[in-house]
Structure 1
Amino acid sequence: MPKLTKRLVDSLTPELKERIIWDDELGGFGLRIYPTGRKVYIVQYRANGRTRRKNLGQHGVLTADEARKDAKLIQADVARGADPSADRKARLRSPTIKELGKRFMTDHVELYCKPTTQYDYRNLLDKVVNPILGSIQVSEITFEDIATFHLKRQSTPYQANRGVMMLSKMLNLAEDWSLRPINSNPTRRIKKYPELQKKRYLNDVEQERLGAVLGQMLQDAEISRYVFAAFYLLLLTGCRLSEIQKLKWDYVTPTHLELPDSKTGRRRIPLPREACQLLQSLERREDNPYVILGDHGESHYNDLQKPWRKARTRAELTDVRLHDLRHTYASVAVTNGIDPFMLKEILGHKNLSTTLRYAHLSDDAVQKAAGQIANRLANRLGSIG
């Protein structure tokens, strides 16, 4: 068969069966003619020991000369180790980001992460990531896609940054699962937005004011003895909210709270004398294993945020979150000379850097320390004026 040209291809007529006409100038370049009369340019090559064919385009959309150029480019890619037909099939089989997210949850998050982390990941997927990226195929997602997602979420920088972090983990796993080439993660080099860290803790006056308000609310029966105890225990132990809210009597010893599980695994929390006395004042219910009892039923107090909002408003501390009581514990500890490494163990942190973020020194303590430094230097320098 001579060289495929427009004139020749136009003249070829269909037959009862599909047939292929090969070009005699470029090996592997041909024309497939269907019984319907449809004519499609193809290229044939060998990759990984197998013969493959790839459609280049329909005659009329492509000319013979354009199809020949495309065939040469594909043959050059094959010579460098590519397999265009297999790559296309892989792309067609590639899951979307939404589908990858489902596998990420079942095959990774639910196996290795705590329930609270699972909840956070599921929220990020459903409310932050999927609405923008969910329909994009895993094999096709690019740096530009991730950067656009990050930009669209700039009004909520914390969510935007956490979304990129989760996507990074998901796409690393996609590489492990052979859904993307190794070292192709497009989340690299995404510059995170600055996050304003909430450095809030109670100073001495605020602590006294909160104590007075809680005492009055208990006396007026606006909160139960258990709610009162929960707020005090958060301050006296530096525990996380869930660790106190879901505390069981089985975990309480005369000297420690022995938690079988927490955000960072098993924890042994020192129980100071004041906290121990407070626990001893609480009445136990035989059919309820929890320390902080709900108003009825066999479970713990379900929503401590509601009484907390009332208490903080009464104490003029409307910007203080329950988690800030843990900040306050850390701040008081550092201000009173507790070694950060020891505080890390008390708070149950995996990394010292986390402890140092919690341990915000009060303005008075910083001012006092700065004055002591300046005083020593001034004594050595002599008279200033």
Structure 2
Amino acid sequence: MPKRKLTFPFIDNYKSPEKRKEIYDKVVDGMALRVTPTGHKSFVYRYRFGDKVRRYTIGSFPEFSLAAARDKARELHRKIKDGIDPIEERKAKKYETDHETVSDLADEYKERHLPSLRESTSDEYRRLLKKEILPVLGDIPVDKLSRRHIIKLLDKIAVERGKGVLSNRVRAVLSSMYSYGVDRAIVEANPVLAVPKRKKSENKRERVYSKDEIRALWKAFEQQAEPVQSIFKMLLLCGQRSGETRRMRWEHLDNDNVWVIPASETKAKRTHHVPLSDSAVKLIENLKILTGTTDYVFASQSNRVENQPVKWLQKAVKRIQNASKVKDFRVHDLRRTAASYMAKLGVDRTVLGKVLNHKGLAGDDQVTAIYDRHNYMDEKRQALNRWARHLQKILSEEEDQGAKITQIGSAKN
């Protein structure tokens, strides 16, 4: 049985064998990557129960991440030690449909459906269920939820609290949950479909920060504890999405200073390669002392036992707004600002789309298969290096006037 430490790049690039092959992981005993001649990849767990050797299929790659597969394998190992055969346990589980309230439906929805979504989406759905939906609708009988109940909840969010965007997102989660209920014959209909989405509440934002604002924001970033300050810096340096950046794993960084974001983690649902500038590399290297023993580059320091990435930035955003005096600062503006400055520096629209992993901007419906495989790596690296140098120049402009701004890759906190 071949054995090695499995990593995302190894799994992602592994070619289809002539016959089915299993490569066992050195990190978790018994767990293996199974690859078939058709190219299908999945994680399995091999164990002995009594006098039988059995294989439990954990899940397919990349829908099931390497870290999640390892966690599942460890869980299976604990069950076996307790005298439980995981395969027989799975067979014995019966599907239950005793749902009395909206909260009952939510419990099953969270257990059975949300794990199939991207981690960032699942986390956001759980947050909205917990904070916005269940406190108001949780005790209502699942088949008695009316349009009036829903409209009252959404109006309170949009009108009384002035959060129209949040109102539409709450509606989307509630609708998804009830559609799941319809598919499982738990409810007969989805009442949310009869409640229209609030119009003109998600106006397109065009905010791009000036050089003075960038300098003020950078100073405010450096007042935050690590790894939070480095998250904001990385967002401005690389222009990637917040969730994808916060969930960066050490195993996603290859030896060519390229950050490989798995398809399961991207909004575009395709593997994305981000060449890292020297400034970004230095920033990441400075975090190794703090988070190098965890799975995540930006591992949360508030609960290190659970080995989780930083999940929420809202409190830090408020602190940065106050410290920088940029009162309308938002996380996504950093991505837009990076993109806008790269465009001003002459980066081609298609290359910019490739950097951002943005299908429409990249014109991916028009490019040929050969250019798609090429993936514009050299052009992306040039664009990000050009922006990193320009950003350093922006920050250095105030240094010349006597103000002190730490260099992009320097460590602090």
Q: Which residue of 1 aligns with 2:85?
A: none
CA distance in 2, matches of 1:178, 1:294: 40
Q: Which residue of 2 aligns with 1:317?
A: 326
CA distance in 1, matches of 2:142, 2:213: 52
1:339–1:177 Cα change, 3 Å:
farther
Q: How does 1:162-311 map to 2 (within 5 A)?
A: 162-181=169-188, 184-193=189-198, 194-197=200-203, 198-211=205-218, 213=219, 229-253=230-254, 254-260=256-262, 262-264=265-267, 267-275=271-279, 278-279=282-283, 282=286, 284-285=288-289, 287=293, 291=297
Task: Please report the TM-score for the alignment, with normalisation by the length of structure 2.
Answer: 0.49
**Structure 2 stretches of 5 or more lacking a match?**
1-96, 363-413
- Asked if the contact 2:99/2:105 (under 8 Å) is kept, the reply is no
CA deviations 1:186-244 (Å, max 9, x no partner) are 22242322325454331233224445x37xx96xxx67897665443221211234544
Q: Which residue of 2 aligns with 1:118?
A: 122
**Displacement of 1:94 after TM fit?**
6.0
1:301–1:174 Cα change, 3 Å:
closer
- Asked if the contact 1:233/1:275 (under 8 Å) is kept, the reply is no
- Asked if the contact 1:97/1:134 (under 8 Å) is kept, the reply is yes
1:121–1:305 Cα change, 3 Å:
closer
CA distance in 1, matches of 2:175, 2:313: 35
Amino acid at match of 1:203: S
Amino acid at match of 1:172: S
**Displacement of 1:280 after TM fit?**
7.8
1:180–1:235 Cα change, 3 Å:
same
**Structure 1 stretches of 5 or more lacking a match?**
1-91, 354-385
Number of matched residues? 253
Task: Please report the TM-score for the alignment, with normalisation by the length of structure 1.
Answer: 0.52
Amino acid at match of 2:252: Y
- Asked if the contact 2:241/2:335 (under 8 Å) is kept, the reply is yes
Q: Of 96, 103, 126, which aligns to 1:98?
A: 103
Report 1 or 2 for greater relative contact order, CA contacts < 8 Å, sequence distance ≥ 6: 2
- Asked if the contact 1:238/1:326 (under 8 Å) is kept, the reply is yes
1:344–1:101 Cα change, 3 Å:
farther
- Asked if the contact 1:201/1:320 (under 8 Å) is kept, the reply is no
Amino acid at match of 1:142: S
CA distance in 1, matches of 2:138, 2:316: 39
- Asked if the contact 1:97/1:138 (under 8 Å) is kept, the reply is yes
CA distance in 2, matches of 1:328, 1:255: 23
**Displacement of 1:309 after TM fit?**
5.8
Query: What is the percentage of aligned positions where both structures have the same residue?
Result: 24
Alignment of 1:327 onto 2:330: no
- Asked if the contact 1:94/1:139 (under 8 Å) is kept, the reply is no
CA distance in 2, matches of 1:306, 1:238: 21
Partner SS state of residue 188, structure 1: helix
Q: What do you get for the CA RMSD once the two structures are aligned?
A: 4.1
- Asked if the contact 1:124/1:159 (under 8 Å) is kept, the reply is no
1:115–1:244 Cα change, 3 Å:
closer
- Asked if the contact 2:102/2:138 (under 8 Å) is kept, the reply is yes
Amino acid at match of 2:236: L
